[in-house]
Amino acid sequence: MKKTVLQDTQRILDLIAKRDLDDDEKKQLIDETVDNFNDYINPGFLRYRKSFSPDYVAVEWTDSGSMFTCVKGIEYIDCLGGYGIYNVGHRHPKVLKAVQDQLQRQALHSQELLDPLRGYLAKVLAELAPGNLKYTFFTNSGTESVEGALKMALLATGRRTVIAAVGGFHGKSLGSLSATSKAVFRKPFLSSLLEMRHIPFNDLDVLEQTLACLKFTGDDAAAVLLEPILGEGGIIVPNDDYFPGVRRLCDKYGALLIADEVQTGMGRTGKMFCIEHWNVEPDILCLGKAFGGGIMPAGKYLTIVYL
């Protein structure tokens, strides 16, 4: 068994190093990919993917810019963009070179010594961020960024309830899943989720009513967590007075405003952070996806000084 594993591992390493495959190798790779997904990842994954059917299988092989190419050599225009990962395209040369240069010197930091690049990046982010957002906590993904932001909000306010939008998507780990509104994701874990109130997006009256009711019952809201543009909920752009109104209501009721910019951040809407379109400063700002340059999984959340 161990010998077989070592042989398979070496074959995979050899495959990574190859740039071209002959027809037999292409067929073998496609067949093995389907079998591996079916046997070792999730057979259900194959049932809903448009890239797989009894008559057709598309297996990724190379990518560059706005295109990726399957094992058979067919080119695809990537209109999905990894749900917001590829703001600068696939394998942007400058991003790729920076990662390669760093890997030639060091991969991961020690956790004990001070990492200069982490400090430099945090400084740049503080200079780019709106208002007084200053302190950065780095994560591995947008979901982790939302998790951290929720923990920060609960800790800073001493409260337990968060308000989020119907149609919002914030991740699928337990904390972020609490804010995600889709029933198919939430139902299996309802008993383990955080205290959450989901309300219609882009409706200030409902937001104020919810904040007022929570205050009246003694369960004041810790935070309002929103995407600046509702993503999975239908790409809904709010009215221009919405986020200024959300900021005003958060201040009135002592709730923190968390901007989930995992999909909308990093210049995706014409400004570095989407919430800047309305000149609003959140208390916490979450990033992920495109923050990694389309090369590395990365995220972070920024907080204002007093948090």
Apex 236 CA angle, 66 and 209, nearest 5: 150
Pairing mode, strands 195-199 and 161-165: parallel
Beta-ladder partners of 300: 138, 287
Q: What is d(CA 3, CA 204) in angstroms, rounded to the nearest whole number?
A: 64
Contacts 24+ apart (CB under 8 A), 48-52: none
- The 10 Å Cβ neighbour count of residue 176 is 27
89 sits in the region (left: phi over 0; alpha: psi -120 to 50; else beta) called left
Name the DSSP class of 83: H
Q: What is d(CA 181, CA 191) in angstroms, rounded to the nearest whole number?
A: 15
Q: What is d(CA 257, CA 171) in angstroms, rounded to the nearest whole number?
A: 18
Q: What is d(CA 307, CA 300) in angstroms, rounded to the nearest whole number?
A: 15
Structure tokens, 146: 């939302």
Which stretch of DSSP H or E encloses residue 186? helix 183-186
Q: How high is the pLDDT of residue 1?
A: 67
Contact 263, 59 (CB under 8 A): no
| pLDDT by position in tens, the chain (length 307) | 677 899 989 998 998 898 889 999 999 999 999 999 999 998 888 887 777 777 778 899 999 999 999 999 999 999 999 889 999 999 999 999 999 999 999 988 888 999 999 999 999 999 999 999 999 999 999 999 999 999 999 999 999 999 999 999 999 999 999 999 999 999 999 999 999 999 999 999 999 999 999 999 999 999 999 999 999 999 999 999 999 999 999 999 999 999 999 999 999 999 999 999 999 999 999 999 999 999 988 987 888 776 6
* Domains defined for the chain, CATH in brackets: 2-79 (3.90.1150.10), 94-304 (3.40.640.10)
Entry pTM: 0.93
SS3 content of the chain, % helix, strand, coil (to 5): 45, 20, 35
End-to-end CA distance of the chain: 53
Name the DSSP class of 278: G
Contact 153, 256 (CB under 8 A): yes
Q: Which residues contact 152 (CB under 8 A, 6 or more apart)?
A: 284, 301, 303, 307
